[in-house]
Amino acid sequence: LVRGIPQTKWLCPRCRGKGCKYCKNKGKLYPTSVQEIIETPFLKATKSKRSSFHGHGREDIDARCLDYRPFVIEIIKPIKRKIDLKKIEKEINKSKKVRVRSLKFTTKDTINKLKFAKIDKTYLVIVEFEKKLNRKRLKEIKNLTKEPILQKTPLRVLHRRADKFRKRSVKKISWKILGKKKLQLKITGETGLYIKELITGDEGRTKPSITELLDNEVKGISLDVIKIHTKGEKYG
């Protein structure tokens, strides 16, 4: 529900959780995470010390996910196994940062299904551009749904992911002018489509892009996931 929070624990890359000067002896780079907020009442109830979090995809730290994302939280070496999930759900939802619903016991098979499922997502994005918007060129944004989007691995994640091309599609896109240089975009994209790069072009690594179509560089992006679609769902 908030920006600036990772989905899983982000251990310090230098000390791997032990604590050092770089992380100010905290062992991690961010105070908390979605995983830690959800795991806290579980660890207390099961008398366990740690968990493993398996989510269907994830978002950037500066993005919010305002729809419910399927996930499995695996409690490692629980001492107590009979727990009240409704009570735990209420405890988690006291947080102002994370909300869960419909908790139930599951199996390891569900983890595999989550990891390999292809589920499209709809994003609501506020974009501020460097120059004044050219209203006549805005209609060209619709062309993004007519051809595959070619994306090389984004520069921002290139240090930890292989540099390769991928083809993804924009299923639906619409926009609303919010100001002379500000635009609201509603984008439904195929699983794996990098939305920020679809907008910025990522120095030419994503083609076509909104920056390219509008001939206008991006100054700032605010991104929310507003819908995680179920398989076979139509986009009305």
End-to-end CA distance of the chain: 25
| Secondary structure (DSSP) of 146-214 | SSPEEEEPPGGGTTTS---EEEE-EEEEEEEE-SSSEEEEEEEE-TT--HHHHHH-TTTTEES-HHHHH
Q: How far apart are CA 35 and CA 79, in angstroms?
A: 20
Work out the number of other CB atoms within 10 angstroms of the CB of residue 97. Answer: 14
| Secondary structure (DSSP) of 129-162 | ESS---GGGGGGGGGGGSSPEEEEPPGGGTTTS-
Q: Is 60 a catalytic residue?
A: yes
Strand boundaries in 27-106, DSSP class E: 50-55, 64-65, 71-76
Active site residues: 60
